[in-house]
């Protein structure tokens, strides 16, 4: 066999993972407890994998949860060389643990890594690393006696090497943590119980944009989020929930907070119903896994008058400005608006504030399921195993005897 003259880099390989169990398990927080609401209390273990430019990916580890130790000169702290994913692991009605389309997240993380000069990887390995973590933490943190419980998963890739020079990182760390997360569908009573349920969005002012052509809005980089928090703070200060990010002189609608945006309206000419979301063509918008799933389900199940008595919708991906929303609102053509994403799932939008104008988004009549509710039900059935579907990835757990 010829000896390789240049070192070959190791690929990411979950099957060689090394597992070290904690001797000091922590209490599992109760639903709705301060620990859960803190969004900071993690399960007993985490996955870590080191990467170096000389060797590639090292042996992955499941190890007791602990703080990271990184040099103050680390690239990530200065140059935002970081990307991440947001996923959930679901305990099904049949007692099984599932991930939802995890290869979509794996592929997106690898794409984000590329944009931030971080190492790409064999993306199918991500779900296998998560499975290893859940084989250790799943039984206690998502007990089989609690179907419909879930944990939020945060796979993260950082350049943790010590070199302060502005350069492509030659060291990186992939880690995965699992966080108990409040269930948005079981949220505590609203501060204003008489208010219509649903999110209130603040249209971004012209002097603040989230992403731009040639930028990195399409990648889940930490660098997209820090600078957006100021606008988020302005929305919160007005009693609103999220920013509706607009772009350019046409004030094109892009997305809302860390969710994709959908509107169902009646087309003024054809009089047909349309479910519209902005297209991904100029790389401004994060290609949500939930967004893609909503589009695929809606095209498959809502394009003819069949489902639950809902009128058929034509599913459309195209650019549109906030002026089109305003026109449809004035003409009474809006049927529903909602946002989609892993963290807050499918959430209806009740209001969009643009400058001094509050536009009320219509909602289904009381007792009638609308489009958002129907899609939420379909997706939930896949996530929690009521429906066998290729989008669900079942995590094999050791059967307890």
Ligand X SMILES: *Cc1c(COP(=O)(O)O)cnc(C)c1O
Buried b (16+ CB within 10 A) or exposed e, 69-95: ebeeebbbbebbbbbbbbbbbbbbeee
262 in Cβ contact with 339 (< 8 Å):
yes
> CB 196 → ligand X: shortest distance, Å?
23
Contacts of 151 (CB under 8 A, 6+ apart): 43, 88, 89, 141, 142, 178, 179, 180, 181
Candidates 88, 220, 333, 376; binder of ligand X (CB under 6 A) is 220
| Torsion angles phi and psi, residue 159, rounded to 5 | -90, 105
Considering the complex, state which of residue 57 and residue 175 has its C-beta at the smaller distance from ligand X: 175
Candidates 83, 149, 173, 258; binder of ligand X (CB under 6 A) is 258
Considering the complex, state which of residue 61 and residue 255 has its C-beta at the smaller distance from ligand X: 255
> How far is the C-alpha of 377 from the C-alpha of 61, rounded, in Å?
36
Candidates 110, 156, 260, 374; binder of ligand X (CB under 6 A) is 260
Which residues, 13 to 72, sit near ligand X by CB under 6 A? none
The kind and range of the H/E element at 112 are: helix 102-115
Tokens of 14: 């979950």
Considering the complex, state which of residue 127 and residue 220 has its C-beta at the smaller distance from ligand X: 220
Tokens of 156: 């993260």
Contacts of 363 (CB under 8 A, 6+ apart): 196, 197, 198, 336, 348, 350, 370
Considering the rule CB under 6 A, would residue 259 count as an interface residue with ligand X?
A: yes
Helix axes 102-115, 124-141, angle to 10 degrees: 120
> CB 287 → ligand X: shortest distance, Å?
8
Considering the complex, state which of residue 229 and residue 268 has its C-beta at the smaller distance from ligand X: 229
Considering the complex, state which of residue 88 and residue 266 has its C-beta at the smaller distance from ligand X: 88
Instruction: Return the range that interacts with ligand X (CB under 6 A); candidates 9-17, 43-51, 187-195, 258-266.
Output: 258-266
Considering the rule CB under 6 A, would residue 204 count as an interface residue with ligand X?
A: no
Considering the rule CB under 6 A, would residue 255 count as an interface residue with ligand X?
A: yes
| Torsion angles phi and psi, residue 395, rounded to 5 | -90, 120
Considering the complex, state which of residue 246 and residue 289 has its C-beta at the smaller distance from ligand X: 289
Considering the rule CB under 6 A, would residue 290 count as an interface residue with ligand X?
A: yes
Contacts of 300 (CB under 8 A, 6+ apart): none
The angle subtended at Cα 149 by Cα 192 and Cα 174, nearest 5°, is 105
Distances (CA, A) of 379 to 18, 64, 153, 171, 389: 34, 33, 18, 38, 10
Considering the complex, state which of residue 89 and residue 289 has its C-beta at the smaller distance from ligand X: 289
Candidates 155, 288, 348, 370; binder of ligand X (CB under 6 A) is 288
361 in Cβ contact with 350 (< 8 Å):
yes
47 in Cβ contact with 175 (< 8 Å):
yes
> CB 108 → ligand X: shortest distance, Å?
7
Instruction: Return the range that interacts with ligand X (CB under 6 A); candidates 32-40, 281-289, 325-333, 369-377.
Output: 281-289
Considering the rule CB under 6 A, would residue 242 count as an interface residue with ligand X?
A: no
The residues pairing with 200 across neighbouring beta strands, listed in sequence order, are 351
Which residues, 306 to 345, sit near ligand X by CB under 6 A? 340-342
> How far is the C-alpha of 235 from the C-alpha of 392, rounded, in Å?
35
Candidates 221, 289, 383, 395; binder of ligand X (CB under 6 A) is 289
> CB 200 → ligand X: shortest distance, Å?
18
> CB 165 → ligand X: shortest distance, Å?
29
> CB 5 → ligand X: shortest distance, Å?
42
Candidates 98, 132, 291, 376; binder of ligand X (CB under 6 A) is 291
Rg (CA), the chain: 22
> CB 195 → ligand X: shortest distance, Å?
25
Instruction: Return the range that interacts with ligand X (CB under 6 A); candidates 179-187, 200-208, 256-264, 365-373.
Output: 256-264
278 in Cβ contact with 253 (< 8 Å):
yes
Considering the rule CB under 6 A, would residue 286 count as an interface residue with ligand X?
A: yes
Which residues, 78 to 117, sit near ligand X by CB under 6 A? 86
Instruction: Return the range that interacts with ligand X (CB under 6 A); candidates 6-14, 257-265, 276-284, 378-386.
Output: 257-265
Instruction: Return the range that interacts with ligand X (CB under 6 A); candidates 11-19, 155-163, 164-172, 282-290.
Output: 282-290
- Site of interaction with ligand X (CB under 6 A): 86, 220, 255, 258-260, 286, 288-291, 340-342
């Amino acid at each position: 066999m010829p000896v390789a003259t240049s070192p070959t880099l190791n690929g990411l390989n979950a099957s060689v993972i090394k597992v070290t169990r904690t001797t000091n398990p922590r209490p599992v927080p109760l639903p709705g407890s301060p620990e859960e609401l803190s969004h900071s209390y993690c399960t007993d273990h985490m996955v870590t994998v080191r990467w170096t430019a000389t060797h590639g990916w090292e042996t992955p580890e499941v190890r007791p949860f602990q703080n990271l130790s990184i040099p103050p000169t680390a690239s990530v702290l200065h140059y935002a060389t970081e990307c991440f994913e947001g996923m959930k692991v679901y305990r099904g009605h049949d007692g099984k643990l599932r991930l939802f389309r995890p290869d979509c997240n794996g592929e997106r993380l690898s794409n984000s890594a590329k944009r931030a000069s971080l190492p790409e990887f064999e993306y199918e390995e991500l779900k296998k690393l998560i499975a290893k973590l859940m084989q250790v933490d799943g039984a206690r943190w998502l007990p089989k006696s609690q179907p419909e419980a879930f944990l939020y998963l945060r796979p993260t890739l950082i350049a943790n090497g010590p070199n302060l020079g502005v350069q492509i990182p030659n060291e990186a760390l992939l880690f995965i943590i699992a966080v108990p997360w409040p269930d948005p569908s079981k949220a505590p009573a609203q501060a204003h119980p008489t208010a219509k349920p649903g999110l209130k969005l603040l249209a971004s002012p012209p002097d603040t944009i989230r992403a731009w052509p040639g930028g990195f809005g399409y990648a889940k980089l930490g660098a997209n989020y820090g600078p957006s928090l100021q606008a988020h703070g302005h929305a919160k200060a007005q009693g609103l929930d999220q920013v509706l990010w607009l772009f350019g002189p046409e004030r094109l609608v892009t997305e809302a907070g860390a969710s994709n945006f959908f509107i169902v309206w009646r087309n003024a000419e054809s009089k047909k119903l349309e479910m519209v979301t902005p297209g991904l063509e100029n790389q401004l918008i994060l290609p949500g896994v939930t967004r893609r799933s909503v589009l695929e389900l809606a095209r498959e199940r809502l394009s003819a008058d069949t489902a639950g008595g809902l009128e058929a919708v034509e599913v459309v991906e195209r650019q549109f400005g906030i002026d089109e929303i305003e026109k449809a609102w004035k003409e009474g053509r809006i049927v529903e608006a909602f946002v989609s994403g892993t963290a807050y799932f499918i959430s209806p939008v009740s209001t969009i504030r643009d400058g001094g104008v509050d536009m009320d988004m219509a909602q289904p009549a009381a007792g009638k399921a609308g489009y958002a509710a129907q899609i939420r039900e379909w997706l939930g059935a896949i996530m929690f195993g009521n429906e066998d579907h290729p989008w669900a990835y079942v995590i094999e757990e050791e059967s307890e005897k």
